[in-house]
């Protein structure tokens, strides 16, 4: 009986380990190094938001002065890109942080109206996103 019991326990442990291993794997992910431009020039007077169209997963990033941003561990898929006004002013640009930038098309600030999209694939990704209509 002890051999049968040992085999049974061994099989149960193996099945449990395989089940848990499958549960800990999440969906495929990638990273995105992006840059926002407006009329070909770097744009940094906002926050960038990304919403996965399939899962609803949301990501956000601050923009560097050169318009660049980075997001990590993003589920693979197509994302709607839209902006949010900066809440803190930029010392080098006192008008920054005071609401929507009037030079940017208003739909870029509206998740439902934004036509901006970016595809994130497994691994590292890069994209330049132009805000001009």
∠70-72-76 over CA atoms, to 5°? 110
What pTM did the predictor assign?
0.74
For residue 6, the model assigns a pLDDT of 52
Across 1-25, average pLDDT: 54
Asked if residue 34 lies in contact with residue 127, where contact means CB atoms within 8 angstroms, the answer is yes
- Give the phi and the psi of residue 100 in degrees, each rounded to 5: -70, 140
Asked if residue 117 lies in contact with residue 78, where contact means CB atoms within 8 angstroms, the answer is yes
Bridge partners of 34?
69, 127
pLDDT digits (tens, 9 = 90+) for 65-119: 999 999 999 999 999 999 999 876 556 665 556 689 999 999 999 999 999 999 9
Greatest extent of the chain over all pairs of C-alpha atoms, in Å? 81
Question: For residue 63, is pLDDT > 50?
Answer: yes
Q: Which residue has the higher pLDDT, 115 or 6?
A: 115
Domain 29-130 has CATH 2.60.40.1120: yes
Across 2-7, average pLDDT: 54
Cα–Cα distance for residue pair 56/79, rounded to 1 Å? 9
For residue 88, the model assigns a pLDDT of 60
pLDDT digits (tens, 9 = 90+) for 17-61: 545 555 558 899 999 999 999 999 999 999 999 999 899 999 999
CB-count exposure of residue 100 (10 Å: 0-12, 13-18, 19+): middle
The helix (run of H) or strand (run of E) holding residue 34 is: strand 29-38
- Give the phi and the psi of residue 17 in degrees, each rounded to 5: -65, -45
Per domain, the residue ranges of the chain are 29-130
Query: Sorting pLDDT into bands at 50, 70 and 90, what band is 132?
Result: confident
């Amino acid at each position: 009986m002890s051999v049968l019991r040992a085999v049974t326990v061994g099989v149960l442990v193996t099945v449990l380990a395989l089940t848990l291993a499958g549960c800990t794997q999440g969906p495929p992910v990638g990273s995105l190094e992006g840059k926002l431009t407006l009329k070909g020039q770097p744009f940094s007077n906002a926050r960038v938001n990304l919403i996965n169209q399939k899962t609803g997963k949301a990501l956000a990033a601050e923009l560097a002065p050169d318009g660049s941003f980075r997001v990590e561990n993003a589920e693979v898929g197509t994302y709607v890109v839209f902006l949010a006004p900066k809440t803190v002013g930029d010392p080098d640009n006192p008008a920054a942080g005071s609401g929507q930038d009037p030079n940017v098309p208003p739909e870029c600030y509206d998740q439902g109206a934004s036509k901006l999209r970016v595809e994130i694939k497994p691994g590292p990704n890069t994209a330049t996103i132009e805000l001009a209509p």
